[in-house]
């Protein structure tokens, strides 16, 4: 599919669509500004159909999948500068840009804090402290967050690894068993590699945890527990900004909660770590 006229393409195919596919078409045509920000599961829910119907609809129109359709839709209805950041315009000076981006990050932090479920947060922290092994999965910007979690959680003395490579994610997930924990991080919740890794880990008996900005997504559907973040970030844009910041903040919360639950071990390990890295500084 090379044309950017996504809405026109939908209209031209409309008569040949199935009844369920027409429901997806109707929603996109009536609310393209909402659909462009939806995950596949959110669009399916809003249209009253299954995820598979949205995927078939996208393929019928000639797209590689829903993400490909959404990119085409974004090219048609979204301002060019929104591909860089949702809040900015080409006329903004540096100070205005900084103010807008900081404001968006602060809003994302406040919104995520309001979404936190205390019981789930405490439960996940307990699961982390009682795990015999922890594997973290994330790609792109979420892969950076997985690495940050690895850097913090290793202080607990629990075997832990972070994987951003899709093959390594599946290899590690296939070796997880009961007593292990797999944490998948994806703002969209639709990253196929992370979803597949979490599915594999769950099949082996591991507890699965999702950190995602979309409560109804393929990732959250395979997770035993979900921690939800909030950031109004385009799923058609590849650069994670506000979503990455709230994910990092949530990891900090999990680290501190877990550290307090096993404070003696954590404090002992921190002393050993400080001694070992003291020679690395002048």
pLDDT per residue over 9-45, tens digit each?
A: 999 999 999 999 999 999 999 999 889 888 888 899 9
Global pTM? 0.76
| pLDDT band, residue 85 (cuts 50/70/90) | low
CA-CA distance, 152 to 146, in Å (whole number)?
10
What distances in angstroms separate CA 152 from CA 121, 156, 212, 253, 271, one per listed residue? 17, 8, 19, 11, 14
CA-CA distance, 37 to 35, in Å (whole number)?
5
Mean predicted lDDT score pLDDT of the chain: 89
| pLDDT band, residue 151 (cuts 50/70/90) | very high
3-class SS string, the chain: CCCCCHHHHHHHHHHHCCHHHHHHHHHHHHCHHHHCCCCHHHHHHHHCCCHHHHHHHHHHCCCCCHHHHHHHHHHHHCCHHHHCCCCCCCCCCHHHHHHHHHHHHHHHHHHHHHHCCHHHHHHHHHHHHCCCEEEEEECCHHHHHHHHHHHHHHHHCCCEEEECCHHHHHHHHHCCCCCEEEEEECCCCCCHHHHHHHHHHHHCCCEEEEEECCCCCHHHHHCCEEEECCCCCCCCCCCCCHHHHHHHHHHHHHHHHHHHHCHHHHHHHHHHHHHHHHHHCC
Could you identify the residue written with the tokens 């404001």?
A: 103
CA-CA distance, 232 to 103, in Å (whole number)?
12
- 88: Cα separation from own chain's centroid: 23
pLDDT in tens, 152-209: 999 999 999 999 999 999 999 999 999 999 999 998 888 999 999 999 999 999 999 9
What domains appear along the chain, each with residue ranges and CATH number? 6-78 (1.10.10.10), 103-280 (3.40.50.10490)
Tell me the backbone φ, ψ of residue 48, rounded to 5 degrees. 75, 35
CB neighbourhood size of 57 (10 A): 27
Residue 119 has pLDDT above 90, yes or no: yes
pLDDT in tens, 262-282: 999 999 999 999 888 888 877
Lowest mean pLDDT among 1-5, 149-153, 178-182, 216-220: 1-5
């Amino acid at each position: 599919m090379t044309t950017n006229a996504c809405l026109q393409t939908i209209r031209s195919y409309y008569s040949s669509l199935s009844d369920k596919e027409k429901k997806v078409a109707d929603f996109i045509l009536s609310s393209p500004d909402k659909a462009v920000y939806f995950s596949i599961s959110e669009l399916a829910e809003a249209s009253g159909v299954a995820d598979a119907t949205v995927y078939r609809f996208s393929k019928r129109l000639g797209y590689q999948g829903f993400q490909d359709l959404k990119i085409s839709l974004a090219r048609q209805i979204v301002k060019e500068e929104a591909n860089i950041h949702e809040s900015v315009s080409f006329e903004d000076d540096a100070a205005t840009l900084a103010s807008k981006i900081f404001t968006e990050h602060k809003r994302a932090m406040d919104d995520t804090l309001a979404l936190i479920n205390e019981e789930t947060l405490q439960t996940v922290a307990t699961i982390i402290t009682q795990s015999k092994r922890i594997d973290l999965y994330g790609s792109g910007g979420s892969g950076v967050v997985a690495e940050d979690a690895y850097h913090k959680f290793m202080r607990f003395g629990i075997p832990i690894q972070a994987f951003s490579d899709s093959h390594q994610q599946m290899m590690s997930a296939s070796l997880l068993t009961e007593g292990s924990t797999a944490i998948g991080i994806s703002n969209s919740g639709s990253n196929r590699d992370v979803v597949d890794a979490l599915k594999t880990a769950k099949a082996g008996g591991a507890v699965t945890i999702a950190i995602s900005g979309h409560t109804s997504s393929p990732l959250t559907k395979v997770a035993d527990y979900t921690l939800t973040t909030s950031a109004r970030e385009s799923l058609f844009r590849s650069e994670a900004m506000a979503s990455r910041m709230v994910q990092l903040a949530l990891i900090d919360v999990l680290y501190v909660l877990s550290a307090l639950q096993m404070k003696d071990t954590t404090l002992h390990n921190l002393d050993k770590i400080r001694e070992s890295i003291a020679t690395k500084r002048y």
